[in-house]
Amino acid sequence: MTTLAFDRAGSGPRVLLVHGLGGERHVWEPVWPALTARCDVLRIDLPGFGASDPLPAGSDVSPQGLARAVAAFLAEAGFDRPHVAGNSLGGWVALELARLGLARSVTALCPAGFWVRTQGPLDPGPRRALMALRPLIGLTFAFPAVRRRVLGGVMVHPERLGYSASVRIASAYAGSRGYVEAQSAMRARRLEDGVGIDVPVTLAWAEHDRLVGPQRVALHPTRVELIRDAGHVPMWDAPERVTDLVLEDALAGADATPPTG
């Protein structure tokens, strides 16, 4: 069994939330109350992130491999064919779950994989600096200027985060055991096409994302949306807009009735 750390709450249509590279399940906190008020929501830590153990050595930790691990977990949990919302790496994993026939719809927020060609590894410097700072994150993040400096690359308004949330996000990024392998595997590939993805897909791009953006990929989404005044992690910059996008997909048509079984 693939054991993943998770939280589950609410009732209604099933919704799975998948975080991005270096994140963990609590990155969804700003939208969690509104989504669980309308849906049966499961948020997970991907293998090697948050409180989830990494996959065994030598495992495939590409987006496709991570999707298969999530699929195994969903089967064990009986969380059948949910609507899937994912951010960054999680958006790519969500699309791969749809390719496996395991998603009712996909809401991909700033999804990874939409680059013209494969990418080299990310500059390790910023993460190494944060890893070195990790024992002092709780102390240094007491200063708003530090929080703005560290989180400003992925958010437009890091000042909106409270102290505890900022510390949790930074600590998760610095402490992700599966980060190096997952980011290398992710950037060595690209999302080639949408073959096998035959469910409604929303691609939502953030206005001020410095990391990814829309590129020409042979994928024909149901809709493409712009999240204004937001960065790469739009759940924190624009929680109301993200909530609306996820609920519009999860509550659409006949799927407003919760699945049985």
In the block, tokens 């949408």 appear at 194
Token representation of residue 137: 């994150």
Query: 8 or 126, which is more confident?
Result: 8
Q: What percent of the chain has pLDDT over 90?
A: 67
> What is the structure's pLDDT at 228?
97
DSSP 3-state percent helix, strand, coil across the chain (nearest 5): 40, 15, 45
Residue 131 pLDDT exceeds 80: no
pLDDT tens-digit map of 179-230: 999 999 999 888 988 899 999 999 999 999 988 888 777 788 889 999 999 9
Record: fold of 6-256: Rossmann fold (3.40.50)
Domain spans of the chain, in order of start: 6-256
Which residues, in sequence order, are bridge partners of residue 43?
7, 17
Predicted confidence band at 150 (pLDDT cuts at 50, 70, 90)?
confident
Residue 10 pLDDT exceeds 60: yes
Are the CB atoms for 52 and 5 separated by under 8 Å?
yes
